[in-house]
Structure 1
Amino acid sequence: MPSLERAAALGVYSPEQLAALRAIFQEACASLELDPDSPEADSMAAKILTAFRLGYVDKETMLASLLGTPNEHP
């Protein structure tokens, strides 16, 4: 089972939320050249879910935070 599904198993998400979280996970893994089944990707999935639970739902903001890039929004 891929990392995001393992981490999401602890919560309840709508199909739309899970699709958005999966897109963020996949983009972050691709940008960081992580194998989606690696321990590093597991950590990334946990960070994504934690940020989501804290109310960070904007894809660009979350990716900027995860990838260490500045967010272009004011």
Structure 2
Amino acid sequence: MIFKVMYQESKEQVPTREMTQSLYLEARDRVEAIDKVTKNTPYNIQYVQELDEAHLAYEKEQEDFKLVEF
């Protein structure tokens, strides 16, 4: 499954919508996706969303789509 993770770059940073970034990664489930990001980055995770086929197709059309591998 592919997950979209929305995050802030620093855990000390106050979350603001304008500063939220996203990355895409493959994981078995939401828990594994969170675990991968937590262990490999200093990011403050805001939201993790599993992408269904239609949403994934839409995201792939965007210029910033790239699967992250840790």
TM-score between both structures, scaled by the size of structure 1 = 0.27
Structure in which a larger fraction of residues adopt helix: 1
TM-score between both structures, scaled by the size of structure 2 = 0.29
RCO higher in structure (CA 8 A, sep ≥6): 2
Structure in which a larger fraction of residues adopt strand: 2
